[in-house]
Every structure is written in structure tokens, then in C-alpha cells.
Structure 1
């Protein structure tokens, strides 16, 4: 009986030792493997910054992470978008890059493309799952800064995209329309933007935190053409 007990325990210890050894060999990456992956990801980051598509393709084929981020939390796709590397951004999206990843400052490739007026990339990102419920550091959409900066075609695209929150109010209490009125200069570019928003069904009367409407702001600034559009 005693001999059987010791034999059983001996067998159990051997089996446990084998299992731990197997896990150590196969369950976790070795230091060499981890270093290889890290170096590959760093090479990928540099290649995206340098707009080197050949190196990016090679790095991805070697196992680099297409959603790798830098120390600021910026995704590779965001970096390509910031640098206006359209071909690079397209490559990354087709390789599975997440268009919604946000950096530490809340920027994402989709939000930045809107703010910078990169309409072609916006179309690409929308086709690949861009979310409309993720907002920038001002709690704004991609449309709001596009209106501020006068990106007419970007405004046209977003305002007419099904499901896009055209009347979203940011942290300042401003809609896209309000941003165009308050931060625009009333010229023909901003007149077009206000008209696009109106035609797309935007609410023309949402006031700011002080209860002042877009119409009142436009009148105060002497933007006669915009006043006529809003009315």
C-alpha cells in the first residue's frame, strides 16, 4: 500500500514537471522571439513615418502588428493620416488596421482625417467601420473641425453620411453649424458649408451654452448671406 502511494506520487511529480516544461517552451514567447517582434514593430513604425511602403509590407509579413502604437498612443494609421500619406494609409487599412484607435490625446485616423479635410481617406475609413460615437479631446466629431476649417467636400461627405450625428454638441456647447458661424469669417466658403448643413437636415436653431443661436451669432458678426441661409 505504502509502495503504491510513493509510486503514484512519483508519477504525479514527473507528469507535473513535464506539463510545466511544455508550458515554458510553448505557452510563452522566448526573449529572442519578443525582441524580434519588438524590433519588427519599431522598423514598421519608422517605415510608416518615412512613407516606405515596401518595408511596411515586409514587416507585416514578418509578423509586425498593423495596430502597433508609438509612445503617444498614435496608431500607424493615425501617423500615416497625419502625414497625409494616402497610399500608406490605404495599405494599412487593407492589412487590417483599426480606423478607430485613439491616441492619448483622443485623435484617431478617422477624426484627424475629418479635421484635416482628407475626404478620400474619410470615405475609406467609413467603408471600414469608422465609428461615429468616438469623439476628440473637445468631445467633438470629425465634422465640427471640418466646418471650422472650411473643408467643404469633407463637410458634404460627413453631413450626408447616414447615421452621422450632424447636430452633435461639443464640450464648448457648439454644433458643427455653430462652429462654422463663430469661427468662420462669413465668406463664400462658409456660406456653402452652412447651406450644405441646412440641406442635409441640420438643426439651424441649437443655441450655445449661453443660449445664443447660430442666427444671432451670424447677425452679430454681420454675416448677411449666412443669416439669409439660416432663416
Structure 2
């Protein structure tokens, strides 16, 4: 009976975590957007003439809203790429964390926004930061959600393949245990495996990625892992 309770608790945890990045990452609400003024308003709207005026007047680029978001965070949520470019050129910090410890790179990764992600990377934002309440990375968050193109771009930019978060999961493990086994999660896992992710790193219970994929009946993932030499 105790074993059954532990299993049910574990399944409940997995269910809750399946939506964790989306739940933990809080975009500006409608009320917050209406209340925005100055640089936050211009960034959200992509109002480039107004933004240029503010930048010329030496506005505080690191001013925060109630959740610790800078104008750069806001522009990233809104996919206002030209606003992001202007802010970066004016000296806005690219790697700053908001209150839930998300940076712009992780915001773009969770939003499945490869174009904004690529812009941020080209401007010098780091894909290597530890972010979120789970002490994870943008790569782990993207792998969790099966955002395979984002995963490939983060890998190409040097994101840490084998970072272990505070749940004791890597990006590879999250692509399995929090994925649905479908095509996008399969491509995500394949990208990680092909890039050289460690196939031996296990979860807190000692389960390897291959064991986890087998347990879930994700045969395509099992086949890919076996072909790469996983045990």
C-alpha cells in the first residue's frame, strides 16, 4: 500500500510539473499592460519612435514592473524584436532575471519563439544561465515542452547539455518524463542525443533515460537511445 501511495504521489507530481514552465513563467496581464507607462509601454507595444525618444532621454533601462520585469523582458514576451534590438544597443542588460528567475532567453524558449531567441543570442544573451525556481536552464524548459527547434538553436549556441536541475533531471530526462512521446519530443530527444548528451545520468531514483523511456512505452525514444549506446 505504501508503494502504491508513493507511485500515486509521483504521478501527481509529474502531472503538476508537466505545466511547470508555463505556470511559473508569468507574462504581463491585461491589467499590467494597461498600467504600463514609459519604457515598459513602448517596449510592449513595439513603439519604436517613442522608445527612441526615451532612450535619448537616458531612461532607466533596468526599471522593473511589479513582477521584476524589465523593458527587455516585456519586449520578449510581446515578441517585439526591433524593440529588443534597440534596448540592447542602448545598453539594456540581456541576462537579468525577473522575480520568478526567468531571463529573456528562457522566456523565448518557453514561448517556442525561435526568432526572438536567435535575436537575443546574436545580441550576446547567454544560453548558459541557471534560471527558474527549479534551478534549470532554458534548454531544460524547452526540452520539457518539446520545442525542438528552440532546443536545436540552444544547443548550437552552447547551452549546457547535462545541467541537472533541483528535481535531479536533465534536459534529456525531461524530454521523456514530461513529454508526450510524440514527434516533437522525439525530435527534441534526438537533438540532445546527437549533440552528445550524457545517456548515463539518472534521475533521483536511479532510472536512466533508457529505463524511463521503456517504462512509458515510448518506443521511438527507446530505439534512438539504444542506437546511441544507452543502457
Query: TM-score scaled by structure 1?
Result: 0.77
Which structure 2 residues correspond to residues 50-89 of structure 1 after superposition, within 5 A? Answer: 50-89=45-84
- Deviation per CA, 1:203-227: give whole Å up to 9, x if none: 1221111111111111111101100
Where does structure 1 lack aligned partners over 5 or more consecutive residues? 1-40
Match of 2:147 in 1: 151
| Higher deviation after alignment, 43-52 or 152-161 | 43-52
Q: CA deviation at 1:56?
A: 1.0
Equivalent pair of 1:115/1:142 in contact (CA under 8 Å)? yes
Question: Partners in 2 of 1:46 and 1:194 — Cα distance?
Answer: 39
1:227 counterpart = 2:226 = no
Q: CA deviation at 1:129?
A: 3.0
Match of 1:211 in 2: 206
Stretches of 4+ moved more than 4 A in 1?
none
How many equivalent pairs are there? 190
Question: Partners in 2 of 1:75 and 1:81 — Cα distance?
Answer: 10
Question: Partners in 2 of 1:215 and 1:156 — Cα distance?
Answer: 21
Question: Partners in 2 of 1:185 and 1:208 — Cα distance?
Answer: 18
The higher-RCO structure (CA 8 Å, 6+ apart) is 2
Equivalent pair of 2:61/2:92 in contact (CA under 8 Å)? yes
Match of 1:137 in 2: 133
| Higher deviation after alignment, 64-73 or 196-205 | 64-73
- Deviation per CA, 1:172-225: give whole Å up to 9, x if none: 111001111011111121111111111111112211111111111111111011
1:179 counterpart = 2:174 = yes
Select 1:160's aligned residue among 156, 175, 180. Answer: 156
Q: CA deviation at 1:113?
A: 1.4
Question: Partners in 1 of 2:89 and 2:41 — Cα distance?
Answer: 19
Question: Partners in 1 of 2:95 and 2:157 — Cα distance?
Answer: 17
Question: Partners in 1 of 2:131 and 2:85 — Cα distance?
Answer: 22
What is the root-mean-square deviation in Å for CA atoms of aligned residues?
Answer: 1.7
Equivalent pair of 1:115/1:143 in contact (CA under 8 Å)? no
Question: Partners in 2 of 1:207 and 1:116 — Cα distance?
Answer: 28
What SS class does the counterpart of residue 47 from structure 1 fall into?
helix
Equivalent pair of 1:48/1:76 in contact (CA under 8 Å)? yes
Match of 1:200 in 2: 195
Equivalent pair of 1:147/1:176 in contact (CA under 8 Å)? yes
Question: Partners in 2 of 1:63 and 1:156 — Cα distance?
Answer: 37
Q: CA deviation at 1:111?
A: 1.8
Question: Partners in 2 of 1:230 and 1:54 — Cα distance?
Answer: 52
1:113 counterpart = 2:104 = no
Q: CA deviation at 1:117?
A: 2.1
